[in-house]
Amino acid sequence: MLAVQRKGFNATFTEERYQQFLQSLTEACGVPIEFRVSETPCFLPRPLLDDLETASQSMVAQLLDDSGYRRAADAMVPDRFRMPNGEKLPTFIQVDFGLVRVGDRTEGRLVELQAFPSLYGFQLLLAETSCDVWRLQDVSVFPPGLDRDSYLSTVGRAILGDHDPANVVLMEIDPGKQKTLPDFAMTEKLWGVRAIDVRSVVNEGRWLFYQRDGRKTLIRRVYNRLIPDDVERLGLELPFDYRDDLDVEWTGSPEWFFRLSKFSIPHLKHPSVPKTMFLSEIERLPENRDAWLLKPLFSYAGGGIVFAPTDADIAAIPANQRHLYVLQERIAFTPVIETPYGPTQAEVRMMFVRDGDRYRFVLPLVRMGRGKMMGVDHNKGFKWVGASAALNQ
């Protein structure tokens, strides 16, 4: 989208350099990368990122400042995830936009927002390695006001609080088998926080412990990467109860997974938000089903989304479960990234952390694709798609 950088990159691309890029990423992580990484970074004009940041801040404020919304959202938290010592406000927020062309402008349309951590470690590595291997100059990894040191300190405070990294854990289910393992590895390299399997935690009264280098170690803070949807779907028995008065801090606590989510979208009033309705509140279903998506509220990474839902798809959802689904107008992403295989669509994730009394935009993440969605399953066999760095000027 920055024409000079785009043309220059495409003209000098080689498959050999791409393989060097992938090798450099893998060596830096120290673990396999099981998801597809695009052949190219994306070159985004800074005014576009400014617009997406402004829209994100407006939507988040609209939700968090609305006491009526806060009560409605709190009612969506299942009992087992209600915490006596959870976060008063979310620490991490992600806002995803699909890029579209409107006249001679590129704009964003909201796809989803979620109060849950993202790839703060791996995405930094991806952007820096892109600049290094491809020898890119005159573009920035970071938004204005941040550099590498301030990024590491800002995100580090959000993850660690004021604790020793040895007493902070990244909590997941079998982290060594997750596709996000490269981010877990980079989180340990950058901030000293290790990923542990939630099932290995030892609960003694109000305290949680884990094994670190053969020593029983107190957990003072949890960097939560455990998706509540997975806990429910797997029927996981945890070694503690979220409802207990545990002497531990949570960052990315599971309650906010429900409070800021697809549930939020029908409540938003913003020009970037596509029409979205709770299934339970629809009296007459739209006739042009191709223009709509059926989405479960609390699935993760695009799980359970139905394109062009049929009457049978709707009828399969029990009436008492329909408040847990939305119908959303489908966004027609515009292919805005020129590649040797044709123009490619892009979805930009704006990654925020709470920094004092504000949410700070710290890094963009891009997913490229030419399929129905940006996920791997919808882009099999394609080149110049997948995870990408967003470099700006």
Q: pLDDT per residue over 240-279, tens digit each?
A: 999 999 999 999 999 999 999 999 999 999 999 999 999 9
Query: Can you give the pLDDT at residue 373?
Result: 61
Mean pLDDT on 351-378: 86
Mean pLDDT on 224-249: 93
Mean pLDDT on 93-114: 96
Distance between CA atoms of residues 46 and 386, nearest Å: 22
- One domain, residues 237 and 375: yes
Distance between CA atoms of residues 151 and 191, nearest Å: 12
Q: From start to end of 312-357, where are the E strands? A: 325-329, 345-355
pLDDT band at 74 (very low <50, low <70, confident <90, very high): very high
Distance between CA atoms of residues 40 and 31, nearest Å: 21
pLDDT band at 377 (very low <50, low <70, confident <90, very high): low
pLDDT band at 5 (very low <50, low <70, confident <90, very high): very high
- One domain, residues 289 and 219: no
Digit-coded pLDDT (tens) for 141-169: 999 999 999 999 999 999 999 999 999 99
- One domain, residues 39 and 69: yes
- One domain, residues 160 and 183: yes
pLDDT band at 360 (very low <50, low <70, confident <90, very high): very high
pLDDT band at 201 (very low <50, low <70, confident <90, very high): very high
- What length does the chain have? 393
In one-letter notation, the amino acid at residue 101 is R
pLDDT band at 51 (very low <50, low <70, confident <90, very high): very high
- One domain, residues 79 and 156: yes
Query: Can you give the pLDDT at residue 133?
Result: 96
- One domain, residues 266 and 176: yes
Domain limit, last residue, from 330, 356, 375: 330
Among 92, 63, 49, 59, which residue's Cα sits nearest to residue 351?
Answer: 92
Supply the DSSP symbol for 143.
Answer: -
User: Mean pLDDT score of the chain, rounded to an integer?
Assistant: 94
Given a cut of 90, whether residue 300 has pLDDT beyond it is no
Pairing relationship of beta strands 325-329 and 292-296 according to DSSP bridges: antiparallel
Backbone angles phi, psi at 278, to 5 degrees: -65, 135
- One domain, residues 63 and 87: yes
Domain limit, last residue, from 311, 330, 349: 330
pLDDT band at 81 (very low <50, low <70, confident <90, very high): very high
Number of domains in the chain: 2
Query: Can you give the pLDDT at residue 375?
Result: 59
Query: Can you give the pLDDT at residue 381?
Result: 76
- One domain, residues 55 and 153: yes
Domain limit, last residue, from 286, 302, 330: 330
More confident: 250 or 298: 250
Distance between CA atoms of residues 168 and 178, nearest Å: 20
Pairing relationship of beta strands 386-392 and 42-44 according to DSSP bridges: parallel
Enclosing domain of residue 291: 275-330
Mean pLDDT on 45-54: 97
Given a cut of 60, whether residue 194 has pLDDT beyond it is yes
Query: Can you give the pLDDT at residue 297?
Result: 86
- One domain, residues 254 and 363: yes
Query: Can you give the pLDDT at residue 301?
Result: 60
Mean pLDDT on 219-246: 94
- One domain, residues 297 and 184: no
Q: Which long-range contacts (CB under 8 A, 24 or more apart) does 16-23 make?
A: 17/133, 17/134, 20/133, 21/129, 21/130, 21/133, 21/134
Contact (Cβ atoms closer than 8 angstroms) between residue 347 and residue 99: yes
- One domain, residues 314 and 353: no
- One domain, residues 279 and 386: no
